[in-house]
Amino acid sequence: MNIMLLGAPGAGKGTQAAKLVDAYGFAHISTGDILRKAVANQTPLGLAAKKYIDAGELVPDMVVIGLVKARLQEPDAEKGFILDGFPRTVIQADALGRALQELHKKLDAVISIDVDKGVLIKRLTGRRMCAQCGAIFNVVSQPETGNGVCPACGGSLMQRDDDTVTTVTNRLDVYERSTAPLIAYYRDKGVLRRVDGNRPAESVFSDVRAIVEG
């Protein structure tokens, strides 16, 4: 099954993707993760992407389209994939449609995770990620992570550079302007499903699971 998770920054795309990977073993294709890894490794892609990520702006379409096209052709995508953070513009969505056609693949569901703006800001500024295993936590809803140690693997919990209030505010504006129109885009294609993402992650996941298994 091939799924896209659509939603604002902090909606819980990465959190739900991790649960889907655990439950079904789908390949997780996160453009944010690919770009952050490139930044950490100081590759040419990372050096080019860093200024956009730090400012909360989108990396140019042609860069991310090329990355995703290549990633979709890796062997693990055969067993089903989850797109997380891609597409983010209509140009990217059109390019994805063409790429999937060329690869004889299709999207089974586009799941929009809907969360109120005030909740998003709190979630993003409280987010911590494990530098070692990549697990996602929140110091507000999971106070036990306030000691900076990953409960899953014992690694160090870090705050993402783009989770400051100023950058988060810009990311939410960019989302409204460039990405929110994709909700109507995929509704018109008949593949859109919506879930209320304001609830605890496990409740959101039971709706996501119902879509996957429905």
Q: Which residues carry out catalysis?
A: 13, 88, 127, 160, 171
Q: Is 184 exposed, middle or buried (0-12, 13-18, 19+ CB in 10 A)?
A: exposed
Q: Is 164 exposed, middle or buried (0-12, 13-18, 19+ CB in 10 A)?
A: middle
Instruction: Out of 3, 26, 110, 127, point to the residue binding ligand AP5 (CB under 6 A).
Output: 127
Contact between 64 and ligand AP5 per CB under 6 A: yes
Q: DSSP secondary structure string, 17-78?
A: HHHHHHHH--EEEEHHHHHHHHHHTT-HHHHHHHHHHHHTPPPPHHHHHHHHHHHHTSGGGG
Contact between 59 and ligand AP5 per CB under 6 A: yes
Task: Give me the 93-122 binding string for ligand AP5, x by CB under 6 A, dash otherwise.
Answer: ------------------------------
Contact between 7 and ligand AP5 per CB under 6 A: yes
The one segment of 20-28, 38-46, 100-108, 123-131 that binds ligand AP5 by CB under 6 A: 123-131
Using CB under 6 A, which residues numbered 75 to 94 contact ligand AP5? 85-86, 88, 92
Round to the nearest angstrom and report the end-to-end CA distance of the chain: 12
Going by C-beta distance under 8 Å and a sequence separation of 6 or more, which residues neighbour residue 60? Answer: 52
Instruction: Out of 80, 201, 209, 211, point to the residue binding ligand AP5 (CB under 6 A).
Output: 201
Residue count, binding to ligand AP5 (CB under 6 A): 36
CA distance 22 to 104: 26
Please report, as ranges, the residues that interact with ligand AP5 according to CB under 6 A. Answer: 7, 9-15, 31-32, 35, 52-53, 56-59, 64, 85-86, 88, 92, 123-124, 126-127, 136-138, 141, 162, 171, 197, 200-201, 204
